[in-house]
Every structure is written in C-alpha cells, then in structure tokens.
Homo-oligomer: A and B are copies of this chain.
C-alpha cells in the first residue's frame, strides 16, 4: 500500500511544489494581495479549476507560501549559524544577520509576505505561528549562548526598566533565551528590531539615493548593534565579510 501510494503521491507532491513555485514567481508581478489562482494555472498550462485539487482556496495557497517563507528564512538562519564555530559568538551573529539580509534581497516578495504589510482580508491561521519564530530563535539563541558563556558584555545600559516592560522582557526571555537577565533581553529585542528595520528599509526602497555601499553599510550597522547588545568582539568575520580578516579589538 505505502509503495503504491507513493507512486501517485509523489506526482502529487511534485505538482504541489510546482504550483507553489509558480505562485512565488507571480508574487513578484502582482504582490500578495493580487495573487491569482488563474494566473498561476495559466503559467503552469493547466485549467484553473485543477488547482482546487491541491489547495482548497486562494488563501490556503497564500498560507502555504507564508509557511514556506518562514521555513526558508529559518533554515537560512540556522545554516548560517551552524557554519560558524560554536564559540565564535560574534561571528555567528554576523553570519546569521548577513544571511537573513541576503535571503531577503534574493526573495524580496517572500520576505514582504511575512514581514511586510499584512495582506488585507487575510488572516494567518495557526500553522503560521510556529515557523514564524525560527529565524528569531537562532539570533536569540546566540545571545543566550553568549550569556551562558559569560561573554555577553554590559552593552548600552539605558534607564531602569519599568515593571510592565520587565514583565514582557521576562516572558520573551523565558521563551527565547532562558536565563538571560531582562535588561539583556531588552537589548536583544531592540537589536532584532533594528535588524528587521534595516532589511525592510533597504528592501522597500527607503535607502534609494541615500546609501550606496549597501553591503558594507549593513555590516557596519550590524557591528554597531553587536556592540550595543554587548557581544564581545572576538570574531574574524565582522569586517567586509572576509573570513580571516584580522580580528579587531573593540
């Protein structure tokens, strides 16, 4: 049974993949709000009604694309992180930030799908919640490792944290970087916010005419925020993206 099931089912899985692939291409022209089943079917040379054998509605296709985008973003981050020596904390941070930006630049419409303007009328179902956190979790994991290794410096101190914010930071910390004190958690969240702000502004065209050396600019940006969170400067990776460049001292 399972062997024969896979015969037909492999074709099914393959076509499901192709439909999503075609839909991703369409995204570039029409955006998420304008994603059209008929256009996708046309690109694949099949009847639009055939798509209903694979996705019960347009929104379900959109959901699949969103889940895929989160997953791709997540595994990109994980791969970048894993490519570094575990104890090279600043290197892992840099590598992951860079990988996220490069993925976003290579897949701008999929990035926009998850971190851009929400699609009007579309409500993300539950399936979407879990994969959403994967990329984030890589970055917070680095901070947690740094803290555990006693290698998370004081960073920018800032004013004392008001109680309600402390509660939020405690909850976020519990979920993403257990053991890390609230003020370091806050700095981490601020750094993540900055990271996604930097990627979004570049991707959505707000740097146009203002910043030319985009790669180097992003790297310097990342370096400043690494200092901000207190990630010790032990990496060989934070200048110009050249592995093996001389380590710098903060």
Q: Hey, which bits of chain A sit against chain B, CB under 8 A?
A: 28-34, 112, 115-121, 129, 156-162, 164-165, 167-168, 171-172, 175, 186-187, 189-190, 193-198, 200-201, 204-206, 209-213, 216-217, 219-221, 223-225, 227-228, 233, 238-240, 248, 250
Q: Closest 8 interchain pairs by CB?
A: A197-B197, A116-B117, A164-B213, A31-B120, A194-B194, A33-B33, A158-B224, A112-B117
How far is it, in angstroms, between the C-alpha of A31 and the C-alpha of B31 when the chains are bound? 12
Report whether B162 and A34 are in contact in the complex, using a CB–CB cutoff of 8 Å.
no
Most B CB within 10 A of own CB, among A33, A115, A158, A212: A158
Chain B contacts for A175, CB-based, 8 A: 210
Report whether A201 and B212 are in contact in the complex, using a CB–CB cutoff of 8 Å.
no
Chain B contacts for A112, CB-based, 8 A: 117
Q: Which of B129, B168, B224 contacts A187 (CB 8 A)?
A: B224
Report whether B116 and A161 are in contact in the complex, using a CB–CB cutoff of 8 Å.
no
Report whether B30 and A224 are in contact in the complex, using a CB–CB cutoff of 8 Å.
no
How far is it, in angstroms, between the C-alpha of A54 and the C-alpha of B129 when the chains are bound? 44
Chain B contacts for A209, CB-based, 8 A: 129
* Chain B: CB-nearest residue to A198: B193
How far is it, in angstroms, between the C-alpha of A115 and the C-alpha of B112 when the chains are bound? 12
